[in-house]
Amino acid sequence: NLSASDRVEALKIIGMGTSAKLLSDPYPLGGYDGLEMGLSIESLPTDDLGRLGNRLTAPQQDVAYPKLTIGKGVYNNIDIFIQFTPYTRQDELSQFGGIMRWGFYQAQFQPLSASILLHMNNGNVGNVLTTRTYGVDLVGGMNVSNVALFGGIGFIESTGTFAGGASGVTASGRLESESVSGYHTVYGANVKILEKGFLALQIDRYSVPVFSGKLGVRF
């Protein structure tokens, strides 16, 4: 029983919140030789979803879901990252997305860098909501010893299709589509572990904050 305004709010939380995320060292991977692999966990606050439609009587629990990421340096400080969440019956969530990063600035005498990220993500929630999310971010980073700090701002747009019918979620009973857009900020840190491992932590702020962490290796 989601009205138009309910669907917009749900899309702000789910569509934007599940967008592709960097969770990596802000410095470029390093051309043809750079390779990164990792497993991340993202925590999406969904308490506000319980206030939409028919409303839940019990508080809605936050949803934590995994993402597998493979990143590769391709040419002239341009990196490509592919991310996906396999479908699980427990969360009924599947995703596939990617990021293209261009590291356009690396200071010669300071540990500073800047990059532009283009990202996209497709998601499916229980076959009642499909999302398509796109965005562009400007991210700056600082690398000191084994720790890298980064932050940035970007624009994001998400469209969603809500299922109707007997097993759907729309108040009209018909298939409905909505679109939302806005700005978001990102802050994070990447800590080197042993020789090639790393731990990345990140906070993305949309209409709700999303917390993420990733363990990975970088060659």
Whether 16 and 181 have beta carbons less than 8 Å apart is answered as no
| pLDDT class of 90 with cuts at 50, 70, 90 | low
Residue 129, pLDDT score = 96
If one counts every other C-beta atom within 10 angstroms of the C-beta of residue 46, the result is 17
The vertex-75 CA angle with 22 and 72, nearest 5°, equals: 40
Residue 179, pLDDT score = 97
Pairing of strands 147-162, 112-125: unpaired
* pTM of the predicted structure, to 2 decimals: 0.92
Residue 89, pLDDT score = 64
Residue 57, pLDDT score = 61
Cα–Cα distance measured from residue 19 to residue 15, given in angstroms and rounded to the nearest whole number? 7
Which residue in this structure is represented by tokens 């990975």?
216
SS3 call for 47: helix
Pairing of strands 63-75, 112-125: unpaired
From residue 191, give the alpha-carbon distance in Å to each of 25, 105, 133, 144, 149. 8, 21, 28, 10, 9
Q: Which residues are 178's β-sheet partners?
A: 160
Residue 40 has pLDDT above 60, yes or no: yes
Number of residues written out for the chain: 219
The predicted-structure confidence for 44-77, as pLDDT tens digits, reads as follows: 998 888 888 888 766 677 889 999 999 999 988 9
